[in-house]
Chains A and B, each alone.
Chain A
Amino acid sequence: MSNKINHSMSLAKPDALDITTKQKIALAIGIVGLLIFVLALFNTNFPNQGVFLTLALGMISLGIIVYSREAYLTKLEGIKNDGVWFKSISSRGIWGWLVGIILTSFYIVLYFFPQYLGLGADGAVNTGLISLFDPLSQLLSGRNASQWFVYGTLYTIAILAFGYKFILKYRHNRYQQIRTVSVMFFQLGFAFLIPEFMYVMNNDLPYYDLKSVWPLNYYIFDEWSVKGFLSNGNIGLALILFGIISIFVITPILTYKYGKRWYCSWVCGCGGLAETAGDSFRQLSSKKMSAWKLERWLIHLVLVFSVVMTTAMIYTYLGYDSNNFWLTKGVFISLVIGFLIIVFTGVMIFKRHELGKDAKYGAIGLFVVIALLVIMHFTGTTDHVFYAKAGTLRSAYGIYIGSIFSGVIGTGFYPILGSRSWCRFGCPMAAILGFQQRLFSKFRITTNGGQCISCGNCSNSCEMGIDVRHYAQKGENIVRSSCVGCGICSAVCPRGVLKLENDSMNGRINPTEILLGNDVDLMDLVNQK
């Protein structure tokens, strides 16, 4: 046995697989590309920024592409997860921690200290890394780069280059390929290019990524944002209406038909990064029961927080007089209360049995919230409390959830917590879509009779930390609200036991053991409670 420290804690010896010479060259190319950014960070004055930016982005992409081609095209098609738990970077080894720390630091600087990246304050010219991106920003929207533009560019490059890697890795699986092309398309078009072009067309419009729906896009109903839209005539009004329709109409319909996967693993940028750049870390998400319990509390708390915060924000800038604008504080509060009641009544009438105890807790919580809102509104205290709190809530949400949770922890901790820790523990959008998916959706993962051998490949690969095997070995359909429908469990199953399906609502939930192969009478006995 080797004397090397076994970082992976695996039974087997790590570093069993070395990378090839070609992969080493590819790595070198990529690192030289990164080096250009590091030099820029330290205020190196590049003579022709456009050329160096192109060079840096090009070399990074080229490095990833060459590396991936060597990794996958030299082998036959099929699942090739060989050595995932031996490699330091993908098994919480030294490289994993190092990458995690670098990414996290980058996020902290990006969100809280953009001046260190060279952002010119108060109209001053950019320097450092951000100025390197000025030529590209000028080309797209005719203005200088911001830290968000730098981030957006790097983000898009990551999804495109690692998306290519993902497509190669799963080239035997058309579901994975099509899904990845979709994610790449939405990132490049909707999240990156279209908002820039929208700025060129009408430079007063707030930044709007059309595919980003409230509450993920938590600033859409902020006063400045709504004013920005409304002061832009029909286009602005259309955009804000589209935002509202997205939440109440488009999203539920699509989730009903396809499950939340239409968003989480086909469209969403956070999901896109997790699926592509984060793919090497998907096995790291915890599958323990304790993690599942934490997840359910955390994600719903974030959802409640974002609902309250948005309500408070909107409430504070509405007026009392219906002659000025039909949507007054009173109407708005009534609308919110009415909507909450409709949703919960619907759930209680139709889905009481499926939710069990959770429904009771939900109902109690709802009545407390509504009672508070009514009392505060009619005693006039809402005004004081909301006015004082709305701004605080908003900035607290922005810092703790919008920045730290989604960015710093969610992405920075990929190599430690797995690729979807934000989607799993913190995303309020995932909570809403998950609620819809659990209650009314044609989507489920079906299991194939008695064919499961409990090997655990499915659970190991689940980025959302679902213990898929727990269901598969009982022959039970998987209708978990957290499932993003990435389909990797199905892809890695060596016995073809799992399949993502959109089918009728009937028989979607089958909480009985339907392991086939046995005598029919025995199965009846097994399912007697």
Chain B
Amino acid sequence: MEHIVIIGNGISGVTLARHIRKLSDKKITIISAETDYFFSRTALMYVYMGHMKFEHTQPYENWFWKKNRIELLNAYVEAINTDNKSLKLANGSNLKYDKLIIATGSKPNKFGWPGQDLKGVMGMYHKQDLENLESLAPNKEACNRAVIVGGGLIGIELAEMLNSRSIPVTFLVRESSFWNGVLPQGESEMINRHIKNHHIDLRLSTNLKEIKSDNNGNVKSVIIEETGEEINCNVVGLTAGVSPNIEFIKSSKIETGRGVKVNRFLETNIPDVYAIGDCAEQHEAIGNRRPIEAVWYTGRMMGETLAQTICGNRMEYKPGHWFNSAKFLDIEYQTYGWVFGKKGRPDYEQHFHWKHKDDTKCITVAFNKNTNDFLGINTFGIRMRHETFDTWLTEKRDVDFVMNHLSEANFDPEFYNHYEAEILSAYNKQLQTT
């Protein structure tokens, strides 16, 4: 029986395994040194915050794997030998495979800051990071202040986590406004204010110069590049993005760039070796997407696609319309289609922005100013229906249609206030004046 070995038990690897099992009877082994069972990485924060226990982040009960004949192996892969199709494990043993899938995910970026390897400096990605944080920052007495470096989604989640235990947080963001590489200005500025409302010390246009240590090799303080200011702290969270976790692959014959290089069929340069999820890098970007997409949904879709290929129906990875979502403290964010921030915005892309006066809800609609085609929407504090926007994008609706039918896409709970009329009148007014 063909033996499928998957390195990594995240959403990509597990989705792949589940779909292979649906389609076939192959032998499946998932290897992970991080945890015994699959868990939702995005939910780790809720464990620290006490909303859930770690076991609640596991979508399947422990008997699920045996019942579905998916073998779980707690081991660390040291090297891959593609010539004789075997893996060398850290415990000294070897494992043979017929088909190998690399789904090892990411690791936090470090940019060579002085002191970045001190005790107390950490990322927030693996379960071990959470355990680390638990011992470094169990409460505000043990951790007087934490400094977070890098303003993305993980950074703000880490800030929310620490905030839930009343630990003061200083948040260093290199950009002039939070996540404005991705978010349009109005949205980014609203989130800036929202962060400060939660008593988080947000410092914009601020870079980290170095992390200072005390006599025991623990973090003592950080120095800010621009002002030379020293901020005393016990924990430094490095959240300036993630990069593929592929160190152990570089010694093999598998081609790597920043990630494991794959074609549109998710195949590497070596036959029977594939890569999916955060660690996979497309030779060429698909549409407006980036060559590497460290996103939950992307990993899931790659797993579904590759399962078809492995089970004999060779299939190209064709992601549909872009979508994503996140939560900034108390504000939910959803995006459908493409809405660019400053970075990489095409000339033809024009935005309509509406913000509610309570400063916690806003939307930005992107459209082509030449053809009026609807390109995408960002919503903050208003839930929208994925299916509706997916349909409109496929049907290539124009922006007027979308604005006039916005209420059909609303996904807020019953009895919530609706803002579509207000949004539409703002939209009509703006069009008249411009």
Q: Taking beta carbons and an 8 Å cutoff, which residues of A are in contact with B? A: 1-2, 8-13, 16-17, 76-79, 81-87, 172-175, 178, 283, 288-289, 448-451, 453-457, 459-460, 469-470, 473, 487, 490-492, 494-496, 499-500, 514-522, 525-526
Contact = CB atoms under 8 A, between A and B. Distances in A.
Contacts of B58: 456
B392 interface: no
A495 B335 CA distance: 11
Given A178-B415, A496-B325, A496-B383, A11 B54 contact: yes
B202 to A, nearest CB: 15
B214 interface: no
Nearest to A450: B297
Given A11-B54, A517-B321, A526-B304, 9 more contacts: A17-B164, A78-B330, A84-B51, A448-B386, A449-B390, A453-B42, A500-B414, A516-B390, A522-B318
A10 B54 CA distance: 7
Given A448-B385, A500-B413, A517 B319 contact: yes
Nearest to A288: B61
Contact of B386 (A16, A17, A450, A453): A450
Interface string B101-138: 00000000000000000000000000000110011001
A450 B434 CA distance: 36
Interface in B304-333: 304-305, 308, 313, 315, 318-321, 323, 325-327, 329-330, 332
A85 B55 CA distance: 12
A2 B413 CA distance: 42
A101 B387 CA distance: 49
A465 to B, nearest CB: 13
Contact of B413 (A87, A173, A522, A525): A173
Contacts of A470: 59
A498 B55 CA distance: 22
Contacts of B43: 453-457
Contacts of A77: 330
Nearest to A525: B308
Nearest to B413: A175
B165 A17 contact: yes
Most buried by A among B47, B300, B318: B300
A499 B383 contact: yes
Nearest to B49: A82
A10 B50 contact: yes
25 contacts: A8-B53, A10-B50, A11-B54, A12-B138, A13-B134, A17-B166, A76-B330, A81-B50, A82-B49, A82-B51, A83-B49, A449-B386, A454-B11, A455-B42, A455-B43, A456-B52, A459-B56, A487-B413, A500-B413, A514-B387, A517-B301, A517-B390, A518-B305, A518-B320, A519-B320
A174 B414 CA distance: 8
Contacts of A175: 413-416
Interface size of B as a range: 35 or more
A86 B415 CA distance: 33
A84 B56 CA distance: 13
A473 B18 CA distance: 13
A16 to B, nearest CB: 5
B296 interface: yes
Interface of B: 11, 19, 40, 42-43, 46-54, 56-59, 61, 130-131, 134-135, 138-139, 164-166, 197-198, 296-297, 300-301, 304-305, 308, 313, 315, 318-321, 323, 325-327, 329-330, 332, 334, 383-387, 390, 411-417
Contact of B313 (A454, A487, A492, A525): A525
A490 B50 CA distance: 19
Contacts of B411: 448, 496, 499
A3 to B, nearest CB: 12
A13 B415 CA distance: 38
Contact of A78 (B329, B383, B385): B329
A509 to B, nearest CB: 16
Contacts of B46: 455-457
Contacts of A16: 50, 138-139, 165
B198 A76 contact: yes
A516 B42 contact: no
Contacts of B413: 173-175, 487, 490-491, 499-500
B53 A11 contact: yes
A297 B173 CA distance: 56
B387 A495 contact: no
Contacts of B139: 13, 16
Contacts of A81: 49-51
A11 B319 contact: no
B383 A448 contact: yes
Contacts of A459: 56
Contacts of A500: 413-414
Contacts of B296: 453
A456 B416 contact: no
Nearest to A492: B51
6 cross-chain pairs, A with B, having the tightest CB-CB distances, nearest first: A449-B386, A78-B330, A455-B43, A496-B383, A83-B50, A519-B318
Given A77-B330, A175-B414, A456-B40, A451 B325 contact: yes
Contacts of B321: 516-517
